[in-house]
Amino acid sequence: MAPADPPPPPSAHPRFAARLSTLSRTTSVQHWQLRDLVACPEPGGYLFVVRHCSVLRVSLKDGKVRGGREVGEGGAGLRRAQRARVNPLAPPSRQSSVAAGLPFAPTSMAASRTAVAAGGQQGQLDVRAAADGAPLLRAPGTGSVVNALHLAPGAGAVGGERLFVASNDCRVRAFDLPPAAGRGGDADGGLEPENVPPPGRDGDDEPGNGADGPQPGGRQASAAAARAARERARAPAATVRALDPVNYCALAPSAATLAPRALACVGDCAAVSVHVPREGGASFAPPSTWDAFDDAGMGVAWSPGGSWLVAGAQCGAAVAVDPRSRALAARLPACRGPVRAVKVCPGPADLVLIAEHADVAHLVDARTWRGVQTLRVGAAPLSGAAFSPDGARAYVGLEDGGVAVYGVATAERCCVAEWGAR
């Protein structure tokens, strides 16, 4: 395999984004390496962050913060936010919203418009409906750390949502989530950790008996359909088996140029692997791999069109991969510290956001792989990074220090002159 060219020197001080504010809702980190604990599934809607044993929903509407006030960029306001110490047992303020109160401290989190998922140190898994917190899937601890979660709308059965769970046991398990609409709490809820029936059974219920009892035809059919959906969610719809623990995975977007949508993985090895599902999506073909790093891979993300992906590693290296080629597409300017999160801007700005272990993140020009803007977020460990779905905002979380908000220069990046300026 031909190696990629050496990383180019960064261009002189490009400016792709400007810091707008810092949301003072503090975030927390449960694992020294796993830092994907910030998600923004809806532009101008909500930001989801992890705080101790809760996933919080932070309102972004009208520039207001649910669960905290905005703190101006830098200066005394930022230092006050970073010095804040929050009682983990204290209830949220009247403006805050708890999307999921959990019996464990999440090491991983993912959110979409319809679902919020959290995974734990002992393999716990909890998935709720984003709208009302109704349980969609609950699974007990397997003893293996849930390193990463990835929600893929449209990838599940009958066009539903599929959840990918990357674990330390060298597996990525895919679960087809039941629909969230019409769910009304634990009576129709997901799988409880302490009461997991064997595969193929739904507890002690028999058709027409048990909790549901005899019902008219319409209600009985609806209850049977709900039970069938929950049964499908209990067992993985597909499993990817790797040779090493999988630290992160991401499915190519629905607009991907590759068909079917491929799953990219990085883990405790030097390679980036891409797994293409076989017909039906219940199994995967042997992966294509690219030797990319000198250390464990920690994050991976696809481009909006699915024609390339970016991966980052514990050693600070980051690479771009074109799955149609056997060679690496590019080596990005290296970070000084370990990479903890990698995100690709979903809008037309062609930017990659890379968060280091602490203090700084980087915006990289995906057109030339040369332009790099370093974001000096704050003197604290970082808890995650995310773009808004329209690409107009970038968010970087600080442990016990709020979430930095950046406005992305999307209009400037769409100008014809911008293509020749970098």
Mean pLDDT across 140-163:
87
Confidence band of 256 (pLDDT split at 50, 70, 90): low
C-alpha to C-alpha distance for 230 and 338, rounded to whole angstroms: 39
- The answer to whether residue 43 sits within a structural domain is yes
pLDDT reading at 318 higher than 80: yes
Peptide bond into 260 cis (omega under 30): yes
Percent of the chain with pLDDT over 70: 72
Greater model confidence, 155 or 412? 412
pLDDT at residue 270, as a whole number? 94
C-alpha to C-alpha distance for 43 and 153, rounded to whole angstroms: 16
Confidence band of 326 (pLDDT split at 50, 70, 90): confident
Contact 172, 242 (CB under 8 A): yes
Q: Which domain holds residue 282?
A: 17-181+188-195+218-421
**Domain tally, the chain:** 1
Give Cα 289 distance to the centre of its chain: 22
The model's pLDDT over 24-50, given as tens digits with 9 standing for 90+, comes to: 878 999 999 999 999 999 887 889 999
φ and ψ of 83, to 5 deg: -85, -10
pLDDT at residue 258, as a whole number? 62
Question: DSSP states of 240-286 as a string?
Answer: EE-SS-EEEEEEPPTT-SSSSPPEEEEESSSEEEEEPBPTTSSSBPP
- The answer to whether residue 331 sits within a structural domain is yes
Least confident residue range of 161-170, 270-279, 363-372, 408-417:
408-417
The tokens for 219 are 């209600």
pTM: 0.79
- The answer to whether residue 58 sits within a structural domain is yes
pLDDT reading at 52 higher than 50: yes
Mean pLDDT across 334-339:
94
C-alpha to C-alpha distance for 61 and 128, rounded to whole angstroms: 22
Confidence band of 324 (pLDDT split at 50, 70, 90): confident
Confidence band of 174 (pLDDT split at 50, 70, 90): very high
For position 111, which CATH number holds? Answer: 2.130.10.10
- The answer to whether residue 207 sits within a structural domain is no
Confidence band of 416 (pLDDT split at 50, 70, 90): low
Residues forming beta bridges with residue 116, ordered by sequence position:
111, 128
Greater model confidence, 72 or 421? 421
Q: What is the mean pLDDT of the chain?
A: 79
Confidence band of 263 (pLDDT split at 50, 70, 90): very high
> What is the CB neighbour count within 10 angstroms for residue 206?
9
- The answer to whether residue 317 sits within a structural domain is yes
Confidence band of 228 (pLDDT split at 50, 70, 90): low
Confidence band of 97 (pLDDT split at 50, 70, 90): confident
Mean pLDDT across 320-340:
92
- The answer to whether residue 70 sits within a structural domain is yes
Confidence band of 84 (pLDDT split at 50, 70, 90): very low
pLDDT at residue 42, as a whole number? 86
pLDDT reading at 109 higher than 50: yes
First to last CA, the chain: 29
pLDDT at residue 126, as a whole number? 96
Contact 256, 305 (CB under 8 A): yes
Alpha helices in 74-141 (DSSP H): 75-83
Q: Which of 245-259, 261-275, 320-334 has the highest mean pLDDT?
A: 261-275
Cα 228 to Cα 120, 129, 282: the distances in Å are 26, 18, 18
- The answer to whether residue 99 sits within a structural domain is yes
C-alpha to C-alpha distance for 403 and 142, rounded to whole angstroms: 32
Contact 59, 94 (CB under 8 A): no
The tokens for 22 are 């810092």
Least confident residue range of 47-56, 61-70, 290-299:
61-70
- The answer to whether residue 138 sits within a structural domain is yes
